Amino acid sequence: MMRLIGLDWGTSSLRAFLFDADGMVLEQRHRAWGIRQLPEGGFGAALNDVLAGWPTELPLIASGMVGSRQGWREVPYVDVPAHLDALVAGIRAVDTGEGRLLHIVPGVRDAHGPDVMRGEETQILGALADDDIGERTLVLPGTHSKWVTTRDGRVTRVATLMTGELFALLRHHSILGAGVSDAAGSDDDVDAFDAGVHAARDSAASGVLSRLFSARTLVLDGRLAPASVPSYLSGLMIGEEWRIAAAQGWLRTDVPPLLIGDAAQRARYHCAAASFGVHLVDAAQDAAACGLWRLATAAKLLETDASLVGVTH
C-alpha cells in the first residue's frame, strides 16, 4: 500500500521516492530538474511531471535546496545541535496548488564558520540508526562536500569544502585543463589520482594551492600525461579535503567515519582515506529516502489527513 512520497530536491537534480506503509521504496524516479534548471512552469511543473501517475492523496515531503532562498519556499535553518525533533519542528509547507501541501525539511546551520547544509541533514538521519549514540564523523562527498559531526544522533558541527566545484572549475575553465580533450576527461587513472592525493597531503601546512601549478609543470616535464591531468586534479582536490580534515581534527580512528556517497565517490574517498591512514565505513544506500521516511513519520505526516497536520504553513 502506497503511503508517502519523498523528494530529494537539490541544486542539480530531483529524485522522487514512492514509499509503502513500511517505509520501503516501491518506485524511484530521477529528473535533471534541480532548482537551478527547472522546466517551463517552474517548481509546479517539475513536481507534476515527476509525480505523474502516482496517487495524489499521499503526503509529500522534500529535503534539499528546494527549501533555500532560491527554492520554492525558504525554510529557516535549524541551528546546531540539531536533533530530529528540531528538524521536524522546523518543517514548513508550501501549497503546490489546489491545497496540496509540500512539506519541506529545514537545513542545518552551524554558527561557527558560519556553515550550512540543506539535504545532507536528511541523508544523515537516514544513515544513522534511531538510537545512535556517541560522537561520529560523517563525510558526504560532492560539489560541496560536507564534513559533519553528530553526537547521540544530533548534528553538532558542519563544514563545507567546495571540492567538486573546484575540480570542475580547474578541469573545464583553467589553464590546467586546457589541452586536455573532453574525451580524455575521465578521472579514472588511479596512479595519477594517488599522486595528486599524495601531493596535497605532503603539501603540509602550505596546502594544495601551493602545488596546483604542478598539474602544468609535470606535463611540461613529461612526467604526467595530458590525459591523466583530470585524475591528478581530482586527487589534488580530494587530497586537500582530507588534508584539511586532518588539520582540523575531523579524522578519528576510534570510530571510523561514515561515508555517504555514490559508488564512484566512495571509491575515490576510500582511496584518499587510505593515504591518510583512515578507514571509512559506507553508509547504507538510499540514505536520503530513509531520512525522508524518518522525518515524515516523526512529523506524523502519515497519520490521517497528514498533509494538513502539525505543520506551520
Q: Does 69 bind a second copy (CB under 8 A)?
A: yes
114 forms part of the interface with a second copy (CB under 8 A): yes
Which is nearest to 266 in space by CA: 254, 283, 252? 283
Among 60, 197, 212, 288, binds a second copy (CB under 8 A): 212
Judged by CB under 8 A, the stretch of 1-9, 171-179, 267-275, 282-290 that binds a second copy is: 171-179
Phi, psi of 5 (to 5 degrees): -120, 130
Among 32, 37, 85, 173, contact with a second copy (rule: CB under 8 A): 173
Kindly state the smallest distance separating residue 186's Cβ from a second copy, in Å.
22
Q: Which is nearer to a second copy, 42 or 226 (CB)?
A: 226
Q: Provide the 3-class DSSP secondary structure of residue 262.
A: coil
Residue 113 found at the interface with a second copy (CB under 8 A): yes
193 phi, psi to nearest 5 deg: -60, -50
Least distance to a second copy, CB of residue 237, Å: 9
Instruction: Tell which one of 18, 66, 80, 161 touches a second copy (CB under 8 A).
Output: 161
- 241's enclosing H/E stretch is helix 229-247
236, 271 contact by CB (below 8 A): no
C-alpha cell of residue 185: 576527461
Q: How far is CA 231 from CA 113, 130, 173, 228, 234, in A?
A: 30, 38, 16, 5, 5
User: What residues line the site for a second copy (CB under 8 A)?
Assistant: 69, 113-116, 144, 159-162, 165-166, 169-170, 173-175, 204-210, 212-214, 217-218, 220-221, 240, 243-244, 247-248
